Amino acid sequence: MLSTVRRAFLALTLVAGLLVTAAGPVAATPSAGTLAGVDMERVTIPQLQSAMAAGRLSSATLTRYYLDRINRIEPLVNAVLALNGNALGQAAASDRVRRTSGPRSLLEGIPVLLKDNIDTADQGATAGSEALLAARPDDAELVQRLRDAGAVIIGKANLSEWANFRSFESTSGWSAVGGQTNNPYVLDRNPCGSSSGSGAGVAANLAVVAIGTETDGSIVCPAGANGVVGHKPTLGLVSGDGVVPISSEQDTAGPMARNVTDTAIVLDVIDGVGEDYTDALDPDALDGARIGVWTSVTGDTSPDVDALFQRAISKLQRLGATTVVVEPPYQDQINDNEFPALLVEFDHDIEAYLDATPGPHPADLGGLIAFNRVRAESELRYFGQEIFILAERTGGDLSDPRYQRARTTATTAAQASIDQTLARFDLDAIVAPTNSPAWKTTLGEGDAFEFGSSGPAAVGGYPNVSVPMGYVGPLPVGMSVFAGAGEDAEVLGLAFAWEQATQVRRPPTYQLTLGPQIGG
Beta bridge partners of 9: none
**Sheet strands (E) in 347-504:** 429-433, 464-472, 475-482
DSSP states along 426-440: T-SEEEEE--PPPPB
The catalytic residue among 194, 198, 417, 466 is 194
DSSP states along 238-278: B--TTB--S-TTT-EEEEEESSHHHHHHHHHHHBSS---GG
Q: Which stretches of 16-140 are DSSP H helices?
A: 45-53, 59-77, 87-100
The catalytic residue among 160, 195, 218, 466 is 218
CA 186 to CA 27: how far, in whole Å? 10
* 234 within 8 A of 216, measured Cβ to Cβ: no
CA 253 to CA 448: how far, in whole Å? 25
For the question of residue 218 being annotated catalytic, the response is: yes
CA 21 to CA 515: how far, in whole Å? 9
Using DSSP's 3-state secondary structure scheme, residue 17 falls into coil
CA 354 to CA 127: how far, in whole Å? 12
Residues in the chain: 520
* 483 within 8 A of 418, measured Cβ to Cβ: yes
Q: What angle do CA 136, 140, 144 make, to 5 degrees?
A: 115
Contacts of 516 (CB under 8 A, 6+ apart): none
* Exposure string for 410-428, b = 16+ CB within 10 A, e = fewer: bbbbbbbbbbebbeeeebb
CA 376 to CA 109: how far, in whole Å? 41
- Specify the DSSP class assigned to residue 159: -
**Other C-beta atoms lying within 10 Å of the C-beta of residue 498:** 27
* 344 within 8 A of 391, measured Cβ to Cβ: yes
| Cα radius of gyration rounded to whole Å, the chain | 21
The catalytic residue among 59, 115, 417, 453 is 115
Residue 11: HSE in the Cβ half-sphere, 13 Å Cα cutoff: 15
The amino acid sitting at 510 is Y
* 44 within 8 A of 111, measured Cβ to Cβ: no
Q: What angle do CA 198, 476, 9 make, to 5 degrees?
A: 55
**Sheet strands (E) in 268-392:** 290-293, 322-325
Q: Tell me the CA distances in angstroms from 412 to 326, 426, 482, one per residue in order.
A: 19, 20, 17
Q: Tell me the CA distances in angstroms from 205 to 344, 381, 518, one per residue in order.
A: 38, 31, 26
* 331 within 8 A of 420, measured Cβ to Cβ: no
Residues assigned a catalytic role: 115, 194, 218
